[in-house]
Every structure is written in structure tokens, then in C-alpha cells.
Structure 1
Amino acid sequence: MSKTLITDLFSLLLIGIAFLVPSVYYEMLLFTGLFALSGAITNQLAIHMLFEKVPLLYGSGVIEKNFTAFKASIREMMMKQFFSKEQLGDFFAKEEENIDLTPLVEGADFSPAFDALSKTVMESKFGGAIAMFGGEAALEGLRDPFSRKLKSAVSAIVSSSAFKAQLDHHIQSSTLSEDMIDSVETLITKRLDELTPKMVKELVQDLIKEHLGWLVVWGGVFGGLIGVVTSFLI
């Protein structure tokens, strides 16, 4: 049984007992039960009004009614707290220090480069002469030496301080950061647009109802205390 139902039943039990006990206790138990039930039901209604529209009750259904603003606030929060220009800049500045492209170069396949070179040579004015000595097959023996030389040259380039400085410049450039921020914001917006008012309502409703059950309990408790005090004043 939920805390809400237990509070309601206990309040009703106090009201019922009031009619069974001696008259001296009647008013105290009756007022305690009535005030406790009133406090519990009032808080239940308030929680219900967060999610559902209640006829004639202004302000009810506030979660679903403000669905668009709710999504916008989530997007703004994510962009400001996680994907601001400064945070992206700091992230890439730290990542840039650890960037080492040499392993990528070492594992790269340079065969397409050699194939392009071979095709260029064969289509040039030297192609006819090379054809007399076996054509492209005669160039095949140069594949491995060429790949090793090109790999060595590219490794030297990506390891140079000039290349790293240029890479850092592009990573830190405002244009890159703005483009990335726009891309991230577009992605977040697209995902949030997939949410429907009903989905958001159910998501928040399950969470809030689980944790606001004590609100109903304390509404009953304080209502009951007020009822006890009232019984002595009337």
C-alpha cells in the first residue's frame, strides 16, 4: 500500500472511531481525523494538478502546459553547463596535448598513393618507354620502397612542431568552436524534439509521485495536529 492511501485510511479510521468512543473524546478524534484527511487530500490534489488539467482550477496541468519551455530550459542548461565555447576550448586544448598521429601514419596503407603514382607515370609521355620494359608490372618493385619513404615523410610532418602548432590553431579557432557548438546544439534540439508532452509528463510524474508521497503524509500529520488544537479551542 502506498503512503498516500495509508494516510487517507488512517484519517478515515480516526473519524470512524470518533463515533464509537465516549463523548469526551469525540470532538478531539473527529477534528483530528477531518483535518488530517483535509491536509492529505489537499496535498494529493496539488500533486495531481502538476500533471493533469482539472476543470475550473486555474494553473492545473502545469507540466504539460509548459512543455515547450521545459524542453528549452533543458537545452539551455546542457549548452551552458556542458557544451559552452570555453568548456569545448579547454577540452580540446587538453586533448591536443595528447594527440599523436604517428601510430596512425605507421598503420596506414599507402598502396593507393603508389597506385595513383603508377597510373600517372604510365599516362605520361614516359608510359610508352616503360611499357617496353613490362609496363606497370615493372614499377611494382618500387611499391614497398615508395611506401616506406612516404610513410617516413608523413610521420616527420605530423611530428613536427610546425604541424602541431597549426593543428592547435585550428582546434582553438573560434570558427571551429562555433561550428561544433552549433552541431551539438542541433543534435540536442533534435533529440529533445523527439520527446512528446505525454512522455515528459510520465517521466516527471513517476519521479515526483515516488518522492512526494511524504508530502501527503506530512499534510495529514500537520492537519491532524491542527485538528487536535482546534478541538480544545472550540
Structure 2
Amino acid sequence: MNDERYLQIVLERIRVSAEYRPKFGRGRADKGLSLDEFQALYGSDPFYSWFGLDNPLMYAAHKAAGGMTSVYRQIGIGCEELVRTILQDCLGLSAEDANWSYEVPTSDGKTRKLHLDGRVILDKIGNEASRGRFHQWMKDSASLVNVDSDVSATLKGTVFEIRQGYKSKDSKRQNADIINAANAYAQAYLPCALILSTQIDSDILLRYRARKWSILTGVIGASDPLSS
């Protein structure tokens, strides 16, 4: 059954977090330190051991903090894969159809490829009724964020940014998303941010909609397909 397959896509990613061990500055390639290795490292440091930082509780705190970050990250990655899979299954899209990227020039004269997390091209939806429903959703979503009807009439599909939540006020991330939206419209796609939880900062929500992002959030029981 698809439900079991969908569940395993997310669980497979979350299981990665169960193996998390803090690295304590040992680099990305290192698999992290065990409790014994941590105590040997900090216990041999005269300064840290003087403060008692080789205590097992300190290791537990590091593991909990890093593990929490890992859980959020893996949930996000799992949800990206899940949504792409659902798009393919429900709309009859290929893996290539469900992915989108674009290239930007760099200061050294080369190009850099940037990706969003999902894509639906109207002409690739084989079922006529499904294509009609999705197209109507696109037109209504574009209207909600005040995209001119002449512009929305040219849109050939939607590209998705998929996140488990969005609480960060990081201006670099926000500016990158605004650039993503501009490039999406330049290639005739409606940009849609799919926030699977209800955790999105209200200021960010307003700013993104002002920049013509369609935004869906994970509100259970809502009957408005333009917002959840």
C-alpha cells in the first residue's frame, strides 16, 4: 500500500538521527565520539577537566542538542522526498518532471545550479480532470497573492519549496527564496512554499506572500486549498 511506502520514506530519514553522535570539533568526516571517547578527550584536557566538562551529563547535553537539530533536518529531507513521490504517484509524473533546477552565473565566470524541492508541469499531468483541478488551483493561488491575470495565464506549472517548518529570521535564506521566486516566474512557474507544520513566523508569511509566493501550511481540518 502507498501509505506504508510513504511512511517508510519519512521514517528512513528519521532513523538517521538515532545514530547521531556529537563530533566535538573532529570534522565532518568523523562519525562522532562515543561517551568513552568524549571522556578521554575532555578528561585529558587540563582546562576542560578542571571545570568538570568531561562529565557524562555534558556529553548527553551535546548529544541532545545536536540530535534535535538532526531530527528537524532529517524530517525536512524525508518530507521533500515524500511530497515528490506523492506528486509522481497522484499526477503521473516522472522523477525528472517532479524536480526543478536553474543555473545562475558566478563571479568567476562559471555557473551554479540551484534546486527547488518539487515541480508540477501542467502538460505532464495525463489525467484531464486532475490537470484541470491543478490548473484552477494555480490560477486561484496566483490571484490570492495578487499576480496579474495576464501573468498567471502564462504559467505552465508550479515549483515547490518544501519545509517542515520555518521559524528562522535568517535574511540570507529569505533573500535566496525571493530570488528563487523571481527565477520561477521568469521560467513561467508559480512558486509555492509548502510548510508541512503550522510553524511559520507571521512576518515571514507576510513578506513571502508580498513577494508573490503561494504558501500552504499544515493546518488540519481547514477547507481552503489555497492556504493549507
TM-score range, shorter chain: under 0.3
Higher relative contact order (CA 8 A, sep 6+): 1
TM-score (norm 1): 0.26
Structure number having the greater strand percentage: 2
